[in-house]
Amino acid sequence: MRLTLLDDLRALTPARAGDDLLAGSITAVLLVPQALAYALLAGLPPEMGLYASILPPVVYALLGSSRTLAVGPVAVAAAMVAAALHGWAGDDAARYVAGAVLLAALSGGVLLAMAALRLGWLTHFVSHPVLSGFVTGAAIFIIGTQLAGLSGIDTPEGLHFAAELRQLAAGMDQGHAPTLLYGVGSLVLLILARRPLVAALTGMGMPEARAGMVARLAPLAIVIGATAISAFTDADEAGVRTVGRIAGDLPGFSITGWWLPGWWQLLPSAVLIALVGYVESVSVARTLALRRREAVDADRELVGLGGANIAAAFSGAMPAAGGFSRSMVNFDAGARSQLAALVTAGWVLLITLFFGGALAPLPYAVLSAIIVVAVWQLIDLGSVVRTWRFDRGDGAAQAITIAGVLALGIEAGLVLGVACALAVFLYRTSRPHIAVIGRVPDTEHFRNIHRHVVETWPHLLIVRVDESLYFASSPRVHDTLQALVSHHDHALRDVVLVLSGVNAVDASGVEMLEHLNDELARLGIHLHLAEVKGPVQDQLNRSALPAMLGSGRVHLSAQAAVEALAPGTGPGDPGANAGMDG
């Protein structure tokens, strides 16, 4: 396996190295406050977010295929970690922390196993509408969990969205004014630092790209400012919850303690964390790669992300994945290779070692504000309306996913959404489009008799099936063909099934064709096939159907079938009935 990073380092030039150095430094500015905030979101000590930003991106840089994906802690995975551990660890803080490391190890193992078995296709079961609904629902859910941190209202941990809102509403009179000041003040500043600040800077003549970079410094500036104010005013003595001491040393590199009692109970959560992290990461990586006409290897991404999560567990960190906002910043800042990720990891390591203690007075409310602003951009309720207008089945799956996340929790909501999407797929494919077709006059093209003026023949019925023949669709195909034959002219002698829309046939499909052939034979009618794709023909050849049909009853095309079964009726020849039904 060729390593993308090594190839890039061999081709490194001073200009490209400068681009990566700048991009890595800018990304680190965004990553540090995010790492602290996402550790808070997961219910973990803040240093675990920093640890997830050191070794995991280095391992991904070596093994992954994307040149600009920024790996580290992400909001949705952090929320999934919290959802998985609240019931599993209970009130045992040490078990909770160890469980987060275990989730990283399990997630990495799942991804590496998928890579070894080439099971990346399993992620295709998370359709785009379901993933979009899940991200939107998770973002709303995350915002709900941070309202308590912004206001200083104490609420029990591990509540679902509705229960969290009820607790907040009941405790409105218990809000803590200093905490609220830090939280709401930071929230307002972060919002102003986005479009309003960019607009103001560009209005003063600053290039838009540079203004955007300056705006991205806002979270770190707010963290530094709030920390200084908190330290100067002794905010913790006023009841403001602060980060406290951050371990200013390297993480402990160990594999002991990974397999805790009851570890298998976390395996389903680890699978979901791995799948969601992989799908989100690959989507971001492909989006960025397309802009530079680069390639992303899906199997390599499984290896890269799996290795990153094993590295996270090895270094005592929480699960990691590719972050959308960080990757966009990394790309926009000019990153050319994963050398930028090494630079980012180096900066985070230095901050962890030498400046961790300086962050002790940082109020948690500031981190809650950073989380709210970061995930707010992930909410896309308009997508539900657009999807519903285009396809009601997909729209329903998307809406149900959002409702499931908010009502049942993050993991249960995702499972519900995937199950709904699969049910929609099975329902849709179990009711395939089946068209009686005829020949467009003076051509060799065949079209639906209900949509076009076509030629038909009393003794010949040509039917096109526009779906694969498998266990769910076969009964409807059989019943429809029976109905068409029973209502056709008594002169009917041949039925031609055009299989141009059939991509696969399973055992149920073959059995249906065999029974159909027997039923038609008892009526003195011959069954024919036409336009059978190569892979489908290979499947059919492994059954008894070809022998039952005999030679001359599998035709290259619908036109070839007509020429064989209705001689003297080529395009333009007499002998056909022209008309249009419906």
Over residues 529-563, the pLDDT tens digits come to 999 999 999 999 999 999 998 777 899 999 999 99
CB of 408 closer than 8 Å to CB of 161: no
Q: Is residue 253 included in any domain, yes or no?
A: no
Rounded to an integer, the average pLDDT of 424-436 is 93
Is 6 inside a domain boundary?
no
Q: What is the model's pLDDT at position 580? A: 46
The total domain count for the chain is 2
Q: What is the DSSP string of 511-531?
A: HHHHHHHHHHHHTT-EEEEES
The answer as to whether 262 is a domain residue is no
463-490 b/e with 16+ CB inside 10 Å = b?
Answer: bbbebbbbebbbebbbebbeeebeebee
Does 111 lie in the same domain as 70? yes
CB 49 within 8 Å of CB 289: no
Residues in the chain: 582
pTM: 0.80
- The whole-number pLDDT of residue 62 equals 93
Q: Are residues 535 and 394 both part of a single domain?
A: no
Strand partners, 439: 446, 455
pLDDT at 172 over 80: no
Alpha carbon distance 99, 260 (integer Å)? 8
Distance between the two ends of the chain, CA-based, in angstroms? 59
> Picking from 431-435, 480-484, 576-580, which range would have the lowest pLDDT averaged per residue?
576-580
Domain assignment present for 316: yes
Which helix (H) or strand (E) segment is 497 a member of? strand 494-498
- pLDDT interval class at 112 (50, 70, 90): very high
Residue 258's pLDDT is 65
> What does the pLDDT read at residue 154?
75
Least Cα distance to 516 among 472, 471, 549 occurs for: 549
Report pLDDT for 5. 80
Give the C-alpha separation, 301 to 278, whole Å.
8
Q: Tell me, yes or no, whether 3 lies in a domain.
A: no
Whichever domain contains 494, its CATH number is 3.30.750.24
Q: Rounded CA gap, 540 and 522, in Å?
A: 22
User: In terms of domains, do 184 and 313 share one?
Assistant: yes
Same domain, 96 and 51: yes
pLDDT(228) > 50: yes
Helix H or strand E segment including 189: helix 177-192
Whether 386 shows a pLDDT value over 70: the answer reads: yes
Last residue within a domain, chosen from 401, 424, 447: 424
Residue range 22-50, pLDDT digits in tens: 889 988 888 888 899 999 999 999 999 99
Q: Is residue 534 part of a domain?
A: yes
Range of the domain at 414: 15-245+270-424
DSSP state string for 421-466: HHHHHHHHHTS--EEEEEEPTTSS-EEETTTS-EEEBTTEEEEEE-
Q: In this structure, are residues 503 and 533 in contact, taking their beta carbons and an 8 Å threshold?
A: yes
As a whole number of angstroms, the distance between CA 417 and CA 431 comes to 21
pLDDT score of 311: 95
- Whether residue 582 is predicted with pLDDT greater than 50 in this model: the reply is no
Q: What pLDDT digit, counting tens, does each position of 245-275 carry?
A: 777 677 766 666 667 788 889 999 999 999 9
Tell me the mean pLDDT in the region 501-516: 95
Share of the chain above pLDDT 90, in %: 52
Name the E strands within 165-306: none
**Integer Rg of the chain from CA:** 31
Query: What Å distances lie between residue 5 and 10, 298, 344, 379, CA to CA?
Result: 9, 16, 15, 34
CA atoms within 13 A on the CB side of 555: 20
Same domain, 441 and 316: no
Same-domain check for residues 113 and 219 = yes
- Does 264 reside within a domain? no
117 and 71, same structural domain? yes
Residues 109 and 231 reside in one and the same domain:
yes
Boundary-marking domain end, from 363, 391, 424: 424
